[in-house]
Chains A and B, each alone.
Chain A
């Protein structure tokens, strides 16, 4: 019978995951303002312009505004505050 070995686990220590609730959903998008958040990845602004055009053509009662963070991959509290203050909903694109 082969000898049994005891070895260390090579992994680090992950943080505890704390559940967070989603925001209440809107009953309708009619008359609402959606912030289209351009995550600044190459060409994502063009994607957002196309999404904005779709809403203008198919759901003209929905208002959209493209907003951008101050830089990529970094939390932007100013932009976040603007979204919370002004927008009814947000779409983030195109992220990894």
Chain B
């Protein structure tokens, strides 16, 4: 509420399920007495008449008339705390008070520092051994993370990343990958109501060097490296960003199983095409991790069979319009596309972009196209301005080619493919070699 600092009294209105989060966000902004008023959840999908009833009705948090909260918030007298705000420091120690193993496990779970599965306690010896996996100094700052963009950034060092890597059960040779994921600035514990995860594609020689699985069961728990690196990214995200606690720093309504671990390696050796990182300007010998904000949906199928075009069009139409797909293809599927004339990966991506279509009415009937894309459309930014101008029943393209990814993985036991939500344009590719 920057306008308060500029002398304009303000009231922030939230829905009641965000009361705890809104109060905590105000507190860590130094304005714990920020004037807030609450209306019932939901606002989305509610008629104008119902919204008017919210205005005429009772604030579900304070139990006072909503409009009274607004008017008094702008006109009521200020207290001494209002005039100064609240300053404070929050320190996190390097080491915890000594305790028994059982007490420490209980504390880590109680403090919400785990994912509720057993962790490896980060003793000084284990963390020191983990740090042998990188040439970087333990006290070097790696980056900053936050659960969502209206919260404050927390900072962390190489040692703090190593602590969480130990907890996840990772091995020292995985640490460069885990540091790269931490440095990406992409949290694997996003607070969004949409329940995002951070699907990650690893490319380059590191895959073979540390035993990442890109063959049979590539997306599943069939490699120590895939699972523990993914879990480390998840644990470090929640612990280094200031938490992932329901009602405070996590609001994903339905949750996401990908939040446990989703680090996948491209099967470059069995792919007929260039790998993801080479497509985007890296050398084949570079080792990279591409971290997506995604995982909201997964659609699976077989092929390409006789009716593959219809099937893909149906699936693309079903994908969430704000979240273009990462198309994951078994190597046998990729070869099937080559046989159908898609000699280059980009040709398939272009086909996917051209054939991902819905009516304009359906495209805009979505909370995130309304909230996040429509402002750009209104401002005249293409291609969204054209989609906004289209007749409601006109078919429009949902995605740009540069938003879609195709990645080859799997062990050729089935001609299987998946579409997993993840926009390449909002993904971040980081070099793992920088963290060796």
Q: List chain A positions with a Cβ less than 8 A from chain B.
A: 2-29, 34, 40-44, 46-47, 49-51, 53-54, 58, 68-75, 80, 83-84, 87-96
Contacts and interface: CB of A to CB of B under 8 A. Distances in A.
A17 B87 contact: yes
B104 A5 contact: yes
A64 to B, nearest CB: 11
A44 B55 CA distance: 12
B256 interface: no
12 contacts: A8-B124, A10-B164, A21-B85, A25-B74, A26-B9, A29-B74, A29-B75, A42-B367, A73-B372, A91-B70, A92-B13, A95-B18
Given A8-B127, A24-B7, A94-B14, A17 B375 contact: no
Could you tell me the dominant secondary structure of chain A's interface residues? Answer: loop
B77 interface: yes
Given A10-B167, A10-B239, A12-B242, 19 more contacts: A3-B100, A6-B123, A7-B95, A7-B96, A8-B94, A8-B159, A9-B163, A10-B160, A12-B145, A15-B152, A20-B30, A20-B85, A22-B34, A28-B75, A72-B371, A90-B8, A91-B12, A91-B74, A92-B1
B21 interface: yes
Given A10-B167, A14-B90, A25-B77, A5 B99 contact: yes
A46 B52 CA distance: 9
Contacts of B123: 5-8
Nearest to B141: A13
Interface stretch (B40-48, B206-214, B300-308): B40-48
Given A15-B152, A28-B75, A41-B43, A8 B163 contact: yes
A42 B10 CA distance: 21
Report the interface size class on chain B: 35 or more
A94 B370 CA distance: 14
Nearest to A94: B43
B345 to A, nearest CB: 31
Contacts of A49: 48
Nearest to A45: B370
B192 to A, nearest CB: 9
A41 B371 contact: yes
B164 A40 contact: no
B84 interface: yes
Contacts of A88: 8-9
Contacts of A47: 13, 39, 43, 51, 54-55
Contacts of B135: none
Nearest to B87: A19
Among B3, B18, B89, the most chain A Cβ lie within 10 Å of the Cβ of B3
A18 B32 CA distance: 11
Given A19-B84, A21-B82, A8 B95 contact: yes
A29 B76 CA distance: 11
Nearest to A49: B48
A96 B11 CA distance: 13
B92 A43 contact: no
A47 B70 CA distance: 14
B119 to A, nearest CB: 9
Given A8-B95, A16-B89, A22-B83, A43 B51 contact: yes
